[in-house]
């Protein structure tokens, strides 16, 4: 039975106890660390930058999935590789030459991801789908943790899954925003592979158990 890869979003962690929260993820059933970098230009919020990422990667023992919500991501590809990113995801809406950006990410030895805002049609990725390792499907408008899940996401996941299958690609579908135990099963059934969860994990009484609970969920 298909189980999701679980990627807790560090954005919702306690930054005063960052090492504790990183170790919690290390010792949990989570698969990836999801790291949200926001520049206050592409999105109306600023999260954190290189020094904090460095502090995280120093202790993190799992895949480092970096989600760039910034303009001009090409400028920082090399830096994120040096900081230990495993996956580097750029926004479709921030890239004029997306194909070139994807090649540049891979040339630095990272997996290439593309994030799509809720209004962006998945068909726009068809011609580069074989070049994309992960599509990060935004199920909220990017910029903040703790927002409500947008229901149209299920339709988008199904359409994207069809494109991936039709083109024989091995692209993973990652869902980012408002993920919880109520929508996880339906997302898996629609074709999702990776579930990002920020608030649902970190605002729960027992984040380790919440991660295990998400990991247990199967397609329905």
Residues involved in catalysis: 36, 176
**Cβ 166 to Zn ion shortest distance, Å:** 27
Cβ atoms within 10 A of the Cβ of 95, count? 17
Report the residue number, 169 or 200, with the smaller CB distance to ligand DX5: 200
Q: Is 99 within any annotated ligand binding site?
A: no
* Shortest distance in whole angstroms from residue 61 CB to ligand DX5: 20
Write the CB contacts of 89 (distance below 8 Å, at least 6 apart in sequence).
Answer: 65, 66, 67, 68, 112, 113, 114, 115, 134, 136
CB of 107 to ligand DX5, least distance (A): 25
Known binding residue 146? Answer is: yes
What token pair was written down for 158? 């199904």
Q: Of the ranges 72-80, 163-171, 191-199, 212-220, which one interacts with ligand DX5 (CB under 6 A)? A: 191-199
**Minimum CB distance to ligand DX5, residue 67 (Å):** 5
Q: Which of 6, 12, 56, 77 binds ligand DX5 (CB under 6 A)?
A: 12
Q: Which of 113, 151, 17, 22 is nearest to 9 (CA)?
A: 22
Radius of gyration of the chain measured on its C-alpha atoms? 16
How many alpha carbons fall within 13 Å on the CB side of residue 129? Answer: 21
Q: Using the minimum distance from each CB to ligand DX5, give the nearer residue, 167 or 204.
A: 204
- Cα first-last separation, the chain: 11
Binds ligand DX5 (CB under 6 A): choice among 22, 28, 67, 112: 67
Task: Report d(CA 170, CA 46) in Å as an integer.
Answer: 33
**Calpha distance 215→175 (Å, rounded):** 14
Question: Footprint of ligand DX5 on this chain (CB under 6 A)?
Answer: 9, 11-12, 34, 36, 67, 140, 142-147, 176-179, 196-200
Binding-site residue ranges for substrate: 9, 67, 143-146, 176-178
Binding-site residue ranges for a divalent metal cation: 34, 36, 67, 176
């Amino acid at each position: 039975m298909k189980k999701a890869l679980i990627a807790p979003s560090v954005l919702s962690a306690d930054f005063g106890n960052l090492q504790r929260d990183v170790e919690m993820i290390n010792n949990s059933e989570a698969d990836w660390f999801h790291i949200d970098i926001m520049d206050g230009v592409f999105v109306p919020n600023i999260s954190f930058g290189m020094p904090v990422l460095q502090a995280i990667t120093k202790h993190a023992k799992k895949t480092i999935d970096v989600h760039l919500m910034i303009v001009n991501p090409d400028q920082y590809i090399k830096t994120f590789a040096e900081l230990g990113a495993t996956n580097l995801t750029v926004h479709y809406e921030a890239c004029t030459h997306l194909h070139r950006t994807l090649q540049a990410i891979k040339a630095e030895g990272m997996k290439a991801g593309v994030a799509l805002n809720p209004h962006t049609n998945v068909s726009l990725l068809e011609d580069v789908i074989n070049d994309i390792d992960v599509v990060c499907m935004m199920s909220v408008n990017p910029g903040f943790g703790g927002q409500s899940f947008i229901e149209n996401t299920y339709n988008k996941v199904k359409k994207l899954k069809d494109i991936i299958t039709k083109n024989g690609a091995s692209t993973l579908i990652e869902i980012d925003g408002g993920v919880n135990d109520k929508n996880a099963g339906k997302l898996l059934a629609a074709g999702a592979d990776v579930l990002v969860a920020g608030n649902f994990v970190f605002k729960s009484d027992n984040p380790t158990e919440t991660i295990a609970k998400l990991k247990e969920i199967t397609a329905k």
